[in-house]
Every structure is written in C-alpha cells, then in structure tokens.
Copies of this chain bind each other. A is one copy, B any other.
Amino acid sequence: MTSTPETQWVALRGRLQEISALVSAADLLEWDQLTYMPSGGAGARGQQLATLQRLAHEKLIDPTLGLLLDTLEAATAQQDAASDEPAILREVRRRYERAIKAPPAFTAEVAEHLAASYDAWAVARPANDFGLVRPFLEKTLDYSRRYADFFPGYAHVADPLIDVGDHGMTVATIRPCFAALRQQLAPLVKQISDQTPPDDRCLYQPFAEDKQIAFGEQIITAFGYDFERGRQDRSPHPFSTRIGAGDVRITTRIYPNDLAQGLFSTLHEAGHAMYEQGVDPALAGTLADEGVSMAVHESQSRLWENLVGRSWPFWNHHYPQLQSIFPEQLGKVSLDTFYRAVNKVQRSLIRTDADEVTYNLHVIIRFELEQALLEGSLAVADLPDAWRAAYAEALGIAPPDDRDGVLQDVHWYAGLIGGSFQGYTLGNILSAQFYAEAVRAHPEIPAEIGGGKFNTLHGWLREQIYRHGSKFTTAELLQRITGGPLRLEPYLAYLTGKYGQIYELT
C-alpha cells in the first residue's frame, strides 16, 4: 500500500492514541493512589506507574513518530495554521523534540534521583533539617542546568525549564513583569496591614462535612462543571485530573472546623477541570487535548475561585443560602462580615495558605531564588538564609525555622529547579486579563454572577480558551483574545479596586 498523507495521518493518530491511553491509565493509577487505594497497594503501584510512564515515553521518542511528523508537516504546510491538523502537529512536535533531546539514561537517572530526593524531603521537613536535603538539592540544581543544556541557544538557563510548563515564556518576559508586580504589591500589602484586620472567626466553627461538600458541588454545578463527565472525591491534597475526554475529576479536602479551605479548593479545582472538560472532542487523544500551560490553567482555577467565588456579587446571591444550611454558625453573621472574612489579607509564611494579595509575593520570592540558584549567584548552602531575607523584605516577616521556610514546598525536592512556580502568578495576571475581556464582550456578566448565573462567562471561556486545548500557545491565546501581550494592569486594577474597597483605602 502506498503511503499517503491520509494513511500517515491515521498512523500518527493511532500512535498518539496509544500514548494517550498509557498516560490516561497512569493518571487513573495516580488518582486511585490518592483516593481509594489500600495501603498494601503502594509497592506495586509505584512500579506500575513507572512502567506505564516509561512505555508512553518510549512511544513518544520512537523515530517513526518523528518521520511521520516530518512528512505530515510538509503535507500540511499550506493549511491554515489555526486549523486542527497543523496545531496538533505543532504540539506533538514540541513534545517529541523535548523528549528526544534529553537522553533516556539522563531521564532515568534524574527520575531515580528525584525519587530519593523526595524521600529525603519527607523526612527533612518534619525534622526541620535542611542539611538532610542539601546534597540532594545541589545535585538537582546540577541536573537542572544539565537539562537546560540539552536545549542550546537559550537566552537564560531557566528558559528551557520554564518552557516545560509554560511554553514560550522566558525569564526575559517574566522577570520585569514580576518585578513590577512586586513593586506595586508591596505598598498595597503595607497599606492593608495598617488597617484593623477583618474578623474571620465565623469561618472557624464546626461545619458538617457532608453539607460543606454538597454546597460546593451545587456551586460548581452552577459554574458549569459537568458531573456526568467528572466527579469529586476526597484526598489529602486537592487536585484535578483528566482520565479521558469525558472524565475529568477533582478532589477536595474538607476540614470539619474550617469552611473556607474545602469550599475554595473545590472552586479552584473545578476551574482547572472545566478547562479540560471544555476541550474540543475533535482533539481527543492527540496530545493537543490538554490545557496549554500552567499559566493558562491557573488562570482558570483562579478566575473561578477568586474573581468569581470571592466576589461581592457572588456572595450577595449565595450567602443567604449558605446561612440557611448553617443557621447556627452563620445565622447572625452579616454578609459584609462574611465577605470580608473570605477576603482577609494577612502576611503569612505559607504560600498555600496565602490570600489573593500576598500570594504573588510568595511566588515571586521563589521565582527569584530559582533564578539566582541557576545563575550561580546563590549557593544551595545559603538558600535558607536567602529565603528568610527575601520574606523579611517582601512580607515583613521571616520564618523561625526551615520547616515553614525553604522546606515548605515539595516542588524543588521532587522536580527540577527553575520552572515550577512562575505559572501561579502568571495565572493570576492572566485571570484578570481574560475576565476583563469577557466583561468587555458581555457587560452583563457581573450582574449575572449576582443572580447566580454563570453560563455567559462559562460559554465565553469555553469558546475563547477551553475548546482550543493546546492548539495555541499562551502568547497566541492572549493575542487572539486581547489583541496584545501579557499585561499587568487589569490584575492590578482588580486587586486595588477590590481591596481598596474592602479595606477602605484611599
């Protein structure tokens, strides 16, 4: 049989489907491990996961896949770049090139090192013993630089590492943006901290767990999360995962004496999951059927969690219902008190506990420390002190120990250094850019939110962002939607407007 573009396309799709099936099975193994797996399953599970991931990787670096890409790229060169086939080829090419450039022996060595590093961290953090992880972190830093060197021609050593999660983003783009954000946030945090803090005791009462879950699920159903194509379970750390085109799950963690943690984690993960649920089914099983970047993904979780879920119109509508569910706890708490409680700004040591305003300072500190480590201007040995100094400068507080300092996040101990954190703050910035565009296109959106309706907003996001999966890069999406690049202004306007009002700043 003569090979034609049609048969080559079928061959490529078949290979991508195989990779997708292996990755989806691995995703289910992980979901199960974090939700229902009995403890006795742990040993075999690690091996099962490693095997499936290796098989998927082997299929991705198969030279025949490269040949198919070469041929099909030539055959589709005349097609509209925004149509599916060229976009799929671009995404597969990107993944293929990344996968083939790091030699398999290096990849295996790093995976083994990171597994040992994670184990060391799991002991070191509760023991508050940075010395235990220091040799691992030094080796990880070395591996991170070596990984970058597989992609010669970069402007900054972190660029190839950032590119993994945020393709197209570079230190040159991010650093000035983060510096400007930091400069604007510092006085805002200072101003807020000079005010009397809101009374948020209403959030810390006994709240029946099943009622917490039911309320959260009702809200995300209204947002547009589709329970026919997903489900929510409980796990020690909330996450979202796509097991297949029609199966995008979330998990939450419910605290019996803390209303906000469980609820906002549900809204957050539902934001991630609605993105994945909204991808065009035509892209299913092509590797281009996932959200495009950490930054855009985080923009969606943050948009639903914060811009919608912590907004005045949202609570103006939903608070009476929440009061009726928890009359004893909230019956005498005013809407204003509750709204201020869920938006309380507080300088704290732990990133994951941070509010909307201070959160970005935590991220920017980490981003800058990562760059300093990679550039060689900061030694791993000096990292704990540098961490404390950075917190003192940016937030005015410093951790008394490393447990709540340099040891607090798993990222550097279970992955390479240099690309793990930028997405969180890029996502915050993007969330405001996207939301502003949505409201520009549909000025009725805030009023609809105030009426408990979210379908105009959800429809706009689906149309502008979700359905495209990975067809367009973050920058291309931004260009298509806003007509320009990443801009800080909408996010700053959002923060200063909202918190200026809450804290009655002048």
Contacts and interface: CB of A to CB of B under 8 A. Distances in A.
Contacts of A243: 32, 37, 41, 44
A244 B45 contact: yes
A37 B227 CA distance: 10
Interface stretch (A18-26, A74-82, A408-416): A18-26
A231 interface: yes
A278 B196 CA distance: 63
Contact of A231 (B38, B45, B229): B38
B228 A43 contact: no
A17 interface: yes
Contacts of A298: none
A39 interface: yes
Contacts of A245: 40, 43-44
A233 B36 CA distance: 10
Contacts of A285: 44, 47
Given A247-B44, A247-B45, A32 B32 contact: yes
Interface in A15-67: 17-18, 21-22, 24-26, 28-29, 32, 36-45, 47-48, 51-52, 55
Contacts of A341: none
B48 A230 contact: no
Contacts of A22: 51-52, 55
B25 A244 contact: no
Given A24-B48, A51-B21, A52-B25, A36 B231 contact: yes
A230 to B, nearest CB: 6
A500 to B, nearest CB: 42
A51 B244 contact: no
A42 B246 CA distance: 8
Interface of A: 17-18, 21-22, 24-26, 28-29, 32, 36-45, 47-48, 51-52, 55, 226-231, 233, 243-247, 249, 284-285
Given A36-B36, A40-B230, A45-B247, 10 more contacts: A25-B52, A36-B231, A36-B233, A38-B231, A39-B229, A40-B228, A41-B229, A41-B243, A41-B244, A44-B284
